[in-house]
Every structure is written in C-alpha cells, then in structure tokens.
Chains A and B, each alone.
Chain A
Amino acid sequence: MISSATSLPQPQHKPFTRMQSVGLVFVCTILGAAAQILMKNGVNQMTHFSLMQAVRNVPLLAGYCLYGINTLLLMLALRDGELSMLYPIIALTYVWVTMLSTYFFNEHISLAKIAGIMVIVGGVTVLGRATSKA
C-alpha cells in the first residue's frame, strides 16, 4: 500500500496550455447554461414531484447529463489553469442563463438584475484572485 506522498509517481498527463484551459472553461459556461435551461424546461412540464415523472422527463434528464459532463470538463480545465483567470470566466454562466431565460421563458430583464449579475461576476472575480494568492 502506498502510504507516503513522496513515493507517488509524477503526473503522467501533458498539462493544458493557458489558452486550452480558458477555451475549455468557456465551453463549460455554455454547457452549464444550457443545462439550466433544459432543467427549468423539464420542471415546468412536471405536474407534481414524483420520481416516476422525473425519470421520464427528457429535458430534465438531458439537463442532468449536460450538468454532469460540464462538471467533469470543469474539473479537467481547473486542473492546470489558474483559478484567478478561470473564475471570472465561470461566472459568465450567470450572464448566459439570464440572456437565455429572456429568450426561452420571456423573462423580464431589469436594470436591477443586470446590476446584480455584474456585482456577482465582480465578486467571483475577486474571489478567484484571492484564492490564487492564498
């Protein structure tokens, strides 16, 4: 049994370049936003909450799958990339979800919503920088 960290083999993978990590995270934000839209569409179709209804709900299941794929890809992207650079990109998901919500569900965009999202994206950006330094 391997018990000490020093006896571990060196990582085998070839690290992503900065551009590859950024590109992958960007793709993740779009997948993540699409997953949310699918899930919302799915739960809108449900009359009540039952497991039988949920497992037959195609948009809901598709949303879950996309969310799972998105999580795995995100872990891969975060492996080599710097958090300070990737966190603000991840926060773009909030922007996409809001834009897609107006398109698919006719939700209203107010100045307060736009301001709120900008403040949250700012907060996540600061958090990414703070976490990288620590």
Chain B
Amino acid sequence: MKTPVSSMMLVFVASLIGSFGAVFLKLGAEKLRYGFRHILSMQAAAGVALFLLSSVFFGWGIKNGELSVLYPMVSLGYVWTLLWSRIFFKEPVTKSKFAALGLILFGIVLIAGAG
C-alpha cells in the first residue's frame, strides 16, 4: 500500500474541519442580506479560519502517499456538508441526496482500497 492510512486519516480530518468552515461561511453569507458591508462578520472569519486549518491537515496528509488516492477523498466533504445542512439548517435529505452520498462513499472506498 503506497498511501499510508495515517495520510488518509489526516485528509479525513481535513474534510471534517472544512465542512464546518462551510457551515460558518453559510452563517456569514446569511448576514449579507443586510448589506455588503456585513461581508466581514465573525462567522465569515471563522469560516475562512476553519478552511485554512483544514488546508494544514490536508497538506500534512498529502505529504506522504499518492495524490490520486488522497485528493478524491476530499469528496467526503460533500457527505459532512449534507449532514450539517440537515442538522443546522434543517434542509431536507431527499432519496436522491441519500443515493448521491452512497455513490460518493462507495467511490472513496474503491479508491482507498486501490491506494
């Protein structure tokens, strides 16, 4: 196996942190309806900070192992985002969204097995 499990775990953590970044950016974006000067909100700053933190874990993760294995694992972020959208923004999880998650996870498992 050319890609260590530890690298996969780091990308896993990076995707989790990044998905929280998206939640905060969404909260920040909601403030924009009160005018563009609200672009600099605490929520937006937190979102950007989480994205930066996520990229540190990602960079750490891709140092060892194959990029062609580790980069597709970023798609795990879609899975987290759907979960948080359901929990924090009460967005509906339809059958097709559920099917999409299944496909993405299956793809990640295939590539992890190949790595």
A76 adjacent to chain B (CB < 8 Å): no
Q: Which of A14-22, A23-31, A108-116 contacts B (4 or more CB under 8 A)?
A: A108-116
- Chain B proximity of A87: nearest CB distance (Å): 9
B114 adjacent to chain A (CB < 8 Å): yes
Known: A119-B110, A130-B96. A107 touches B103 (CB 8 A): no
A69 adjacent to chain B (CB < 8 Å): no
Which one of A105, A118, A120 has the highest number of Cβ atoms from chain B below 10 Å of its Cβ? A120
- Chain B proximity of A77: nearest CB distance (Å): 16
Q: Are B68 and A113 in contact (CB under 8 A)?
A: yes
Q: Which one of A3, A8, A64, A105 lies within 8 Å of B55 (CB-CB)?
A: A64
Interface of chain B: mostly helix, strand, loop or mixed: helix
- Across-interface contacts of B55 in A (CB, < 8 A): 64, 67
Q: Are B34 and A2 in contact (CB under 8 A)?
A: yes
Interface of chain A: mostly helix, strand, loop or mixed: helix
Count how many pairs of residues, one from A and one from B, have CB atoms less than 8 Å apart in the complex.
128
Q: Which one of A8, A91, A123 lies within 8 Å of B33 (CB-CB)?
A: A8
B4 adjacent to chain A (CB < 8 Å): no
- Across-interface contacts of B58 in A (CB, < 8 A): 39
- Across-interface contacts of A112 in B (CB, < 8 A): 110-111, 113-114
Residues on A lying within 8 angstroms of B by beta carbon are: 1-3, 5, 8, 36-37, 39-40, 42-44, 46, 49, 60, 64, 67, 91, 94, 97-98, 101-102, 105, 107-110, 112-113, 115-127, 129-131, 133-134
Residues on B lying within 8 angstroms of A by beta carbon are: 2, 33-35, 55, 58-60, 62-63, 66-69, 71-72, 75, 78, 82, 91-92, 94, 96-97, 99-111, 113-114
- 18 A-B pairs with CB atoms under 8 Å apart are A42-B59, A98-B71, A102-B68, A105-B67, A112-B114, A113-B69, A115-B110, A119-B106, A120-B107, A122-B103, A123-B103, A123-B106, A123-B107, A126-B97, A126-B103, A127-B82, A130-B100, A134-B92
